[in-house]
Structure 1
């Protein structure tokens, strides 16, 4: 068994409730494995900071339904308790069945399952057969709470609502009104969180500020643990959270055939990585060398490849620009042929410049003949991407599924782009994107999860191995 924390909509406090639960469990010296529904990078950072264990993303668009089940089964059985944080509202997902993903991700589903809640929290709860606790923002309601709870419990009979958490409760009188309204439903109240003025996680243009930039985070987690000790019905919760041994589906084993060293940029500017991607590289034999383009004086020695994840290079553009020795070393290594993967923020770092929100220009590595310009427009959504040419990661005509989430655009588009992209759920053409020149570079705004596409890290490491030969 494990438990899904869902919201009746975005912004109701799912992450606060999840972190409060995790912090209280860790204070009790419990070994807990967390999961996050969807493609998000930042919430899992907070999970990992609290639990000490890497959070795993459960996303059937980026991977597949089978991979979600295998990932959950494998990692949940290694802990005492397991907790899944949902995404958006409980039933908010995408329309499944468009394009080739309809046959790739879930070949055996029937037509009734081709709904608009694919990849939603409800979809994951059904897929893993897990109970759900619904978080309700009570700040602007009282008696209506029963209608909300009843609607969510009855909307899909396959979803097992184990109870509700009442968040942002204003007073004892307010709580009494909420309880009276819910009494007729006989739906357990799993927790009550009062309005909190001293528990705030700052955010900015792409969501929460990452953990590495919050020096007071440990104090905040302590306050959350204090809150969790008193606001939850632990007698009801612990049996729901208890992880049970399962028999995971057989998955292909990986042979460690690529004894190479890969420099992985990981610091305050670059920290968007799926842990499964890093695990796959290591399982294939790669040694990962973590380093900082912000703080280090040079790239790591004796490496055969580089991996720049996403993040916030625009926030640290001045510091990145001032580290000229590293910028020069990165450019020199790439121009000499070093295989390099750069996603979103990594792509921006390989550009000639980053132009920040204030219009200031900062020099970057200068590998790609374009500049990244920050703006107010948010580019967001799942992508179906078809490779237009053989490149560092995939062969021509290969279809991959990824996610875009950024507020920058490039001043020039590549003459020989990597991908032709379309929206995942409606096949709307999004144009061409991605840089594959020099040929040893894969630079794209599209974030990829390699769990269901293990040929991608294999291809990358095969190219890196040539650096040794």
Structure 2
């Protein structure tokens, strides 16, 4: 089996609870596979820092219900224990998007089900995988009312099995007594109240700093091993391990997940490892091993583990490098991949590294295939204006300026390609996710840019996509830059649903 760590709402401490459980399991020398519901990048970084294994995202909008099931099954095969961290509150999801209308889960047969408006919620994932839930509750401002909350969550959708609750941020022993008395009353009245499997008193010193896009990533934090050690101590003291440990144990009989009625299929669920040739290189339909430089440092760290695996399985040798610190690009590469991250936090250092900015610009001008998402798009722009309104020079291959602002652009997008590129055909649609506080505030014409810089303008055009949010009343937006071998977009894509895009990119790099 496995267990889904859910919150009754956002901010209740489910990430801290998840990390504490992971740290305690790893301290016991166990192989633990973690998962994160939704399009999150930063929480999975913390998971991986604890477990030593890449955390996998489970998102049926960016991928599909079938992919979620297959991903979970595939990556639990080599683990002793597994757990899933949820997103937001247990039933917080979205209205089912058009492409997912055929997807159904068991709870939709229930008269009391509200799952039609909770697609991609933690509860939805729990049902897709047929797994129980451990519900984390923030008890700072509660006593007897805890019973009504727990009863409501348990009754709201009977097909969601709540295996137990964690009482978090308990103020004192007396506070704990009031909470447990209320739950004892619920058990006496209903006869089916979930057991208390953890009680955590307020731990002001065990917090992770955050900023404008969520938690501060692991690469920017000092002394993480000591922090995880303290979380493991906390978990050993505060949880009922006699009950929890069997729930975390992965089945070995192939029945993990109970995948009935899986819903929408993916074009290719999980690309298999590429065969090895006699010379030790890899081969995938027409592609030998190619070297792709992946920007990875404190400024660029937003990558789905499945995307990187897919590139490797398609024959790519991933060369990780730092636009912040390296003086040049890796040698003998055939492609560039820039993920998202926080270039705005490190703009002075990115500008200062002129040698590598020139190297990136020269490579793209020479036609090297390049894929950039969000922070990567910002880095390829002419300038980046930070929160203090200071302007910093970036690579300069996209004729635009991006500026940080107060407005958070957040949500899923269905994107339709307006023009043909080597990666995507006109009219082809994908589902992606936007999460940024920057915006393009200036777009220069190619002719004006050439006149200002004296450089021959690159054949780059805007926009690539027409995007539509899940709000049917919202106006479609246009977004994304494209060229013969360049694609730069604010959209974060999970290639598990679109392996052909990754395959085209690898093939394009191999042909370079």
Corresponding position of 2:7: 7
Q: What CA distance in whole angstroms lies between the structure 2 residues aligned with 1:110 and 1:15?
A: 26
Corresponding position of 1:426: 472
Corresponding position of 2:98: 99
Corresponding position of 2:136: 135
1:447 to 492, 500, 507: 492
Task: Give the SS at the match of 1:451.
Answer: coil
Q: What CA distance in whole angstroms lies between the structure 1 residues aligned with 2:394 and 2:13?
A: 37
* Comparing 77-86 and 426-435, the one that deviates more: 426-435
CA shift for structure 1 position 427: 6.7
CA shift for structure 1 position 276: 0.1
Alignment of 1:210-225 (within 5 A): 210-225=217-232
Corresponding position of 2:246: 239
Contact kept, 8 Å, 2:106 with 2:127, in 1: the verdict is no
Q: What CA distance in whole angstroms lies between the structure 2 residues aligned with 1:14 and 1:163?
A: 14
Corresponding position of 2:447: none
CA shift for structure 1 position 332: 0.5
Q: What CA distance in whole angstroms lies between the structure 2 residues aligned with 1:107 and 1:14?
A: 27
Q: What CA distance in whole angstroms lies between the structure 2 residues aligned with 1:453 and 1:44?
A: 21
Contact kept, 8 Å, 1:327 with 1:365, in 2: the verdict is yes
CA shift for structure 1 position 110: 10
1:460 aligns with 2:459: no
Q: What CA distance in whole angstroms lies between the structure 2 residues aligned with 1:384 and 1:111?
A: 24
Q: What CA distance in whole angstroms lies between the structure 1 residues aligned with 2:505 and 2:70?
A: 24
CA shift for structure 1 position 144: 0.4
Deviations 1:369-409 (A, max 9, x none): 10110000000000000011112421111110000000000
CA shift for structure 1 position 271: 0.2
Corresponding position of 2:50: 50
CA shift for structure 1 position 412: 3.2
Deviations 1:13-43 (A, max 9, x none): 0000000000111111111100000000000
Change (3 A) 1:165 1:403: same
Q: What CA distance in whole angstroms lies between the structure 2 residues aligned with 1:350 and 1:428?
A: 29
Corresponding position of 2:22: 22
Corresponding position of 1:405: 435
Q: What CA distance in whole angstroms lies between the structure 2 residues aligned with 1:110 and 1:225?
A: 35
Contact kept, 8 Å, 1:31 with 1:51, in 2: the verdict is yes
Deviations 1:99-135 (A, max 9, x none): 33435xx389997687110000000000000000100
Contact kept, 8 Å, 1:73 with 1:247, in 2: the verdict is no
Q: What CA distance in whole angstroms lies between the structure 1 residues aligned with 2:106 and 2:293?
A: 41
1:294 aligns with 2:324: yes
* Comparing 174-183 and 246-255, the one that deviates more: 246-255
Corresponding position of 2:353: 323
Alignment of 1:315-394 (within 5 A): 315-394=345-424
Aligned residues: 463
Q: What CA distance in whole angstroms lies between the structure 1 residues aligned with 2:324 and 2:155?
A: 51
Contact kept, 8 Å, 2:107 with 2:157, in 1: the verdict is no
Q: What CA distance in whole angstroms lies between the structure 2 residues aligned with 1:194 and 1:109?
A: 37
Contact kept, 8 Å, 1:339 with 1:392, in 2: the verdict is no
Q: TM-score, normalised by structure 1?
A: 0.96
Q: TM-score, normalised by structure 2?
A: 0.88
Q: Choose 1 or 2 for highest CA Rg.
A: 2
2:194 to 187, 191, 203: 187
Contact kept, 8 Å, 1:99 with 1:427, in 2: the verdict is no
CA shift for structure 1 position 218: 1.7
Task: Give the SS at the match of 1:411.
Answer: strand
CA-based RMSD: 1.8
1:80 aligns with 2:87: no
Contact kept, 8 Å, 1:94 with 1:425, in 2: the verdict is no
1:228 aligns with 2:258: no
